[in-house]
Amino acid sequence: MEREDSRFTLIKEILPSETLSIIGSLAAGIILSLLLLQFKSFPILILLIPALLSLRGNISSPFIARTAKDLIIGDFNKRNIIENILSTYLLAIATACLIGLFTFIVNFFFFKLEYFSFEFFILIPLISMLFTLSLVIVISIVLNSLVFKFGLNPNNVIPPIMTAIGDFFNVVFFYLTLIILGVP
């Protein structure tokens, strides 16, 4: 059940996880710049990254919010969890393909860089997103349930923690995908 959180409860519950999120985002930024600069195709990769980072937020944040809402209103059951997961994967696959397609079009008309072929534009966001999402879904369900069990409000605590975890692993899986695909 949702408690009537005071302003101080909000600060007490959000600030520690937000601090973790800030450290995670700063670390992700540093790792991103250090790892990606070594790729020849960096000018194209930098076009994909903002869309990919916001895709993780667009897909996983509503998933986390829906899970928290289901827990609080008492709708957290096996069927809802499965349908929530399946819809999240479907949205991620469709959107990753769209991001790849539009990045290809933007590059084709404006930047005209020829570092890799069309299929890489689709495969890079798709594979790295599926890796990240698989991890984020499991961790967020476990954390949401644990936080709720301990009497905290998952709406306050989980989103910043998952931003830190999601942003960090998004960068790691993006890098791994580039290695797996042999991107120049």
Partner 1 sequence: MEYFIKIIKESIIIVFISSLIGIVTGTFLSSNDEILNTIPFILLTLPAINSLIGDISTIMISRLTTQLLIGSIPPRIKKTQRLIEDFIGLFLTIILSLIILLAAGYIIAYYMELKLMNLIEVLIIIILTVVVMFVIIFLVMFMISILLFKKGKDPNNFLIPFITSLIDFLSPFLIILFIIIFI
The residue (of 69 and 182) whose beta carbon lies closer to partner 1 is 69
Tell me whether residue 78 is exposed, middle or buried, using C-beta atoms within 10 angstroms of its C-beta: 0 to 12, 13 to 18, 19 or more: exposed
What is the contact mask toward partner 1 in residues 117 to 146, using x (rule: CB under 8 A)? ------------------------------
Written in H, E and C, the secondary structure of 104-145 is: HHHHHHHHCCCCCCHHHHHHHHHHHHHHHHHHHHHHHHHHHH
Residue from 69, 122, 176, 180 in contact with partner 1 (CB under 8 A): 69
Q: List C-alpha distances in Å: 58 to 36, 54, 112, 120.
A: 23, 6, 28, 22
Q: Does 169 bind partner 1 (CB under 8 A)?
A: no
The residue (of 18 and 123) whose beta carbon lies closer to partner 1 is 18
Radius of gyration over alpha carbons of the chain, in Å?
18
Q: Does 160 bind partner 1 (CB under 8 A)?
A: yes
Q: Does 150 bind partner 1 (CB under 8 A)?
A: no
Q: Does 37 bind partner 1 (CB under 8 A)?
A: no
Q: Does 173 bind partner 1 (CB under 8 A)?
A: no
Residue from 39, 57, 115, 134 in contact with partner 1 (CB under 8 A): 57
Q: Does 62 bind partner 1 (CB under 8 A)?
A: yes
Nearest CA to 169 among 142, 139, 144, 135?
Answer: 135
Spatial contact of 97 and 24, defined as CB atoms under 8 Å apart? no
Name the minimum Å distance from CB 11 to partner 1: 5
Residue from 102, 108, 119, 146 in contact with partner 1 (CB under 8 A): 102
